[in-house]
Amino acid sequence: MVRGGLMGGLDDLYQQLILDHYRNRRGRGRIDGASASVHEHNPVCGDECYLDILVVDGRIADIRADGDGCSISQAAASMLTEVAKDKELGEALDLVEHFRLVMHGDAEPDEDILGDAVALEGVAKYPVRVKCALLSWLALRDCIADYRETTAMGG
Amino acid sequence: MVRGGLMGGLDDLYQQLILDHYRNRRGRGRIDGASASVHEHNPVCGDECYLDILVVDGRIADIRADGDGCSISQAAASMLTEVAKDKELGEALDLVEHFRLVMHGDAEPDEDILGDAVALEGVAKYPVRVKCALLSWLALRDCIADYRETTAMGG
Amino acid sequence: MGNSTHTALDATALRAEFPLLATPRPDGGAVHYLDSAATSQKPQRVLDAMDAYYRETNANVHRGVYEMAAEATERFEAGRDAVARLVNHPREATVFTKNATEAINLVAWAWGVRELREGDEIVVSMMEHHSNTVPWQIVAGITGATVRFCPVTPGGEIDMDALRGMVGGRTRMVAVVHVSNTLGTINPVEEIVAMAHEAGALTMVDATQSVPHMPVDATAIGSDFLAFTGHKMCGPTGIGVLAAAPGRLEAMEPFLGGGEMISDVTTEGSTWNDIPWKFEAGTPPIAEAVGLGEAVRFMEEIGPERIRAHEKVVAQSMLDALDEVPGLTIYGPRDVERRGASFSFSLDGVHPHDIGQFLDSKGVCVRAGHHCTKPLLRSMGVQSTARASAYLYTTDDDVIALRDALVECREWFGAA
Amino acid sequence: MGNSTHTALDATALRAEFPLLATPRPDGGAVHYLDSAATSQKPQRVLDAMDAYYRETNANVHRGVYEMAAEATERFEAGRDAVARLVNHPREATVFTKNATEAINLVAWAWGVRELREGDEIVVSMMEHHSNTVPWQIVAGITGATVRFCPVTPGGEIDMDALRGMVGGRTRMVAVVHVSNTLGTINPVEEIVAMAHEAGALTMVDATQSVPHMPVDATAIGSDFLAFTGHKMCGPTGIGVLAAAPGRLEAMEPFLGGGEMISDVTTEGSTWNDIPWKFEAGTPPIAEAVGLGEAVRFMEEIGPERIRAHEKVVAQSMLDALDEVPGLTIYGPRDVERRGASFSFSLDGVHPHDIGQFLDSKGVCVRAGHHCTKPLLRSMGVQSTARASAYLYTTDDDVIALRDALVECREWFGAA
Ligand SMILES: Cc1ncc(COP(=O)(O)O)c(C=O)c1O
Ligand SMILES: Cc1ncc(COP(=O)(O)O)c(C=O)c1O
């Protein structure tokens, strides 16, 4: 559609759940002695994301995200920390991949998998904002890859 | 005018006098022991012009042009050798300048000055062909400049 | 439309000539396009001129003897005449590129790669667009030269004392923006050019944000190189301009090689065409030059002074309107004599992306991000800003819509 | 219009879609446009697509959060998808430039200036367009490398034995044209690419004259770089394409620096965006990409195989017709399987300029000159030729008009 402004209206993009996560961020901060950490940024707006995970017995025992960004990126990070916590690393990667496909319009969102992050569904229609939503999620993917590489090398 | 093909018809550009000079070139060839010589080319079509002058007592005692080219460039060279012969160098430069102005549409052609070359008037309407008509004439200008420079240096 | 500088420009009437602005949004509201610093809208006559070129006389230029090719060449070169006239510059030293960025890179590569040495310095300001920063960094990387950044004052102006301290015997190039796309600041480019020339350095003025908005006299500025872009001045995408000192251009070895820019090509080597064509390799942006020529005629009919006068009025309205929005911080000068009509701002508690998105739902188009000035934003301690930028078609309506939407936005995101 | 390769293309019907061809000349005659090797005519739908872009959703791409900017980005990137699909190439390795010439220069400068050393050799064929010769000469001049020219046989083909003798351990780049704009020759580029790769050299295929006229599979050709241009394939001026091997593009340092191509810019240095954007500095040719995308869809609906089949028929008609003109010499291959539909020729006793001018008076547009292939013409011992070149809209009418005008021309200039 051309020149219609926000397609489904503001409420479609900014669902209440999103604004709620934005105003009350869960899982914010850093982890002392994290198993792996990454720092990513969105070249479009300069937004940054620090992501730390603590891995215990192959599970994400703790996960925290820090950095500034727009409501979408902050809410996405907040939702991620909730839904990824306690997942096995493989499960977490599947989760990220599912979310990525949803954001690119290549999969229907599954609430059982995504939890609150299902509310981000409307973002898929806004290509520029997709990067915001994905920033922390792809950071988790990179973080797990880093972790696996380090532990593989370490022994 | 757009897409009209030749504006005044072929005859306007290719006057009989032009075709006559083209088919029967005057002053063609080189001069042994020329006072000055230049070699110019038209980058658009690759046409070349060799121009030689023999200067005696400040006058162009002989002038010859060689090289291949289209009817316009050949006729222009042929006409040039006729009209420039026996001219004083300063006069010859004035002649070239008048022809140049005519070709660029900046002066009305004066038959007393140009001789047969007045028939080239119609070329002014064809920017690409102006270069063809000017090739040998500007060569004469450069030739005279070279001559003056060499004689000034030589003594 | 008269050309008197006494009558103010009637922006509301002008909008009728811009199809995108004249067409209401599906919900019936007007389009409040406040992103002209990114790209301007195009008047119908510019689109018509390009269309007519393609429909009537489309042919490759410079080499054709047939009438249509000669006519194409004439329309193309008339575009150059228009652009050269607008900035009071010799036409033969007015080179068409694909955008302002290529114009700057042309100099960085053609001159810089061949001339710069280790120890040489290129001075740029901290408020340069990436297009006037990164080419110099790249060429410095190849040659071993150094790029130095002159700081910007808290008021958003080039720190002239610092600049005087930086420009010296090692300086080979001083590259500055005429009007900042992020802050709106108008820089004293004549003074900077004189300072650089005194030190024996060359100068590049990025006039991308000045030429569309005010009278710019390239000869009076006197820089070695001056760059701008077609799509920000009512013209099409795909064309930019490098206005160079003629002698400088004659002396420079070419940049891109190919058709059109040669005099002769042999297996032993090649010789070059006259300027400006020596720097225009390959088929040029023909329809684009035709369109840009028409854009210039449009600007000339209005008059660059009147455009500037109008934008000063709009800038003052913007300042007043933005001041009414609680929690809003404007970056850059507040004096409309020292700035253009581009305003970057922050809104407490609302991220620029969210501002941009919310405003869009109200029909207000603004940009959110770093505006290709990351070093500047970092030096100001922000990651991104929202930016509203005006042009000759901007009305009070647009300014009021912006203000109202910003007030609502703040409430909506719960920042109030 | 069907896409079956069984039905021949109906060029007469297609002409109706090209406004310039559909409008008769003032004297009532048809326009016999036989200069498509210089630039093609444009179907109305391509002009409409660009117009719609400017009227509906003109905004700068990639950075805008507002809807119109997102839509602009989508239409722009859809142009890239179309182009990539046409030549069967990954979209992320399909870079937009301003023309084919810039695409080749991009590689010459970005790769060549950084990688070439004294003693290194670049091998080109003698039939290259200046755009695939001069960039290499320029970069050789900067780096001390050498450009070697592979001869062309009297039949107008690359001398493959000579090429095998030239490509060896010192060869860093082999640059060849797919279809010659002057001779029409189709070169065995797959074989040449394989030969170069075996020697460890990179390859540049200039596909400017093949992509518009026949199916071209960049992946099957397998060259490191392949260049072509929009305005010769029913698209607008101001846009070209570099289709590169993705890994090659990833590994290469950038060329033009500026907006869009960066990931981060700091005063200490910069990092680069992902491909293809890493090589697209500044505002890209947005409307032009939209127009080129539409041109590709137009070509796809007809089908590149059918275009090629049609041009083979036209080429045979051209050969037959030109053979009927006394004193006419055709350059290049006579077998339509080995050539495209561009014909260079000489007419005894009439200079190409005069041919071009005379033919124009009969409504026949041909080119006269060196066609940006001076080394080739010099090697053939001629200074210039006339050239008639066909495209998908060329009809038998055009060919007959050409023949008749040539016969008359010869008489008129008294060469008969
Ligand atoms: C074979 C060939 N290569 C390259 C080019 C250059 O194309 P452009 O002028 O669009 O850069 C041309 C056309 O002029 C050509 O025919
Ligand atoms: C100050 C300034 N310089 C340079 C540019 C680059 O212009 P373009 O993208 O047309 O090359 C821009 C616009 O983006 C700009 O605002």
Q: Is the CB of D101 under 6 A from ligand 1?
A: yes
Query: Which one, of C66, C307, B17, A152, lies nearest residue D388 by Cα?
Result: C66
Assigned domain for A67 exists: yes
Q: Is D59 helix (H, G, I), strand (E, B) or coil?
A: coil
- How many domains, chain B? 1
Assigned domain for B48 exists: yes
Assigned domain for A87 exists: yes
Are D276 and D76 in contact by the 8 Å Cβ rule? The answer is: no
Assigned domain for A1 exists: no
Q: Could you please report the per-residue DSSP string of D302-329?
A: H-HHHHHHHHHHHHHHHHHHHHTSTTEE
pLDDT of residue C152: 98
Q: Average pLDDT in the D272-283 region? A: 96
Chain B residues touching residue C66 (CB < 8 angstroms): 5
Facing D56 at nearest CB: one of C20, C130, C264: C20
Q: Considering every ligand atom, which ligand is closest to the CA of C105?
A: 2
Choose one of D181, D186, D370 to mutate for the ligand 1 pocket test, by most ligand atoms within 8 angstroms of C-beta: D181
Q: Is A48 on the interface with C (CB under 8 A)?
A: yes
Domain range for A95: 11-154
Chain B, 104 to 133: residues with Cβ < 8 Å from chain C are 126-129
pLDDT of residue D2: 44
Checking if the pLDDT of D68 tops 50, the result is yes
Which chains contact A through at least 3 pairs of Cβ atoms less than 8 Å apart? C, D
Chain C residues touching residue A77 (CB < 8 angstroms): none
Domains annotated for chain D, with CATH where assigned, are: 11-44+303-412 (3.90.1150.10), 48-300 (3.40.640.10)
Assigned domain for A128 exists: yes
Checking if the pLDDT of C169 tops 70, the result is yes
Maximum CA extent, chain A: 57
Question: Any contact of B with D, at least 3 CB pairs below 8 A?
Answer: yes
Just list the catalytic residues of C: 372
CB contact (8 A) between residue C56 and residue B44 = no
Facing D70 at nearest CB: one of A41, A43, A126: A126
Checking if the pLDDT of A4 tops 70, the result is no
- The proportion of chain B whose per-residue pLDDT surpasses 70, expressed as a percent, equals 94
CB contact (8 A) between residue C26 and residue A13 = no
- When pLDDT is cut at 50, 70 and 90, the band that residue C65 belongs to is confident
Q: C186 forms bridges with which residues in the sheet?
A: C179
Q: Average pLDDT in the A29-41 region? A: 94
Q: How far is D361 from chain B (nearest CA, A)?
A: 5
CB contact (8 A) between residue A45 and residue C352 = yes
Q: How far is D274 from chain A (nearest CA, A)?
A: 11
Of the listed ranges B123-132, B140-149, C43-52, D401-410, the one predicted with least confidence: B123-132
Q: Average pLDDT in the B49-72 region? A: 95
pTM score over 0.90: yes
pLDDT of residue D209: 98
Structure tokens of A153? 């090398």
- Of ligand 1's listed atoms, the one at least distance from the Cα of C282 is 9
Ligand 2 centre to CA of C131 (Å) is 6
Of the listed ranges B10-14, B73-77, C114-118, D36-40, the one predicted with least confidence: B10-14
Assigned domain for A3 exists: no
Q: How far is B142 from chain C (nearest CA, A)?
A: 17
Interface confidence, given as ipTM, is 0.93
- When pLDDT is cut at 50, 70 and 90, the band that residue D225 belongs to is very high
Structure tokens of D126? 């003698």
Q: Considering every ligand atom, which ligand is closest to the CA of C208?
A: 2
What would the pLDDT profile of C216-248 be if each residue is shown by its tens digit?
999 999 999 999 999 999 999 999 999 999 999
pLDDT of residue B3: 40
Q: Is the CB of C259 under 6 A from ligand 1?
A: yes
Q: How far is C380 from chain A (nearest CA, A)?
A: 13
Checking if the pLDDT of C127 tops 60, the result is yes
Q: Is B56 on the interface with D (CB under 8 A)?
A: no
- CATH number of the domain within which B109 lies: 3.90.1010.10
Helices (H), C303-395: 304-323, 352-361, 374-380
Which chains contact B through at least 3 pairs of Cβ atoms less than 8 Å apart? C, D
Looking at every residue in chain D, the average pLDDT score rounds to 96
What would the pLDDT profile of D335-378 be if each residue is shown by its tens digit?
999 999 999 999 999 999 999 999 999 999 999 999 999 999 99
Establish whether D234 is a catalytic residue: no
Checking if the pLDDT of D262 tops 60, the result is yes
pLDDT of residue C5: 53
Residues sharing a CB contact under 8 Å with residue D305, sequence separation 6 or more, in sequence order? D5, D214, D215
- The proportion of chain B whose per-residue pLDDT surpasses 90, expressed as a percent, equals 75
Most confident of A65-74, A123-132, D206-215: D206-215
Q: Is the CB of C125 under 6 A from ligand 2?
A: no
Checking if the pLDDT of C22 tops 50, the result is yes
- What does the alpha-carbon distance between residue D91 and residue D243 come to, in Å, rounded to a whole number? 9
- When pLDDT is cut at 50, 70 and 90, the band that residue A2 belongs to is very low
Assigned domain for B3 exists: no
Assigned domain for A149 exists: yes
Q: Is the CB of D281 under 6 A from ligand 2?
A: no
pLDDT of residue B8: 52
Instruction: Say which amino acid occupies D355.
Output: I
Q: Is the CB of C98 under 6 A from ligand 1?
A: no
- What does the alpha-carbon distance between residue C11 and residue C395 come to, in Å, rounded to a whole number? 6
Sort strands D240-244 and D262-266 into parallel, antiparallel or unpaired. unpaired
Is C337 or D415 the better-scoring residue by pLDDT?
A: C337
pLDDT of residue D416: 57
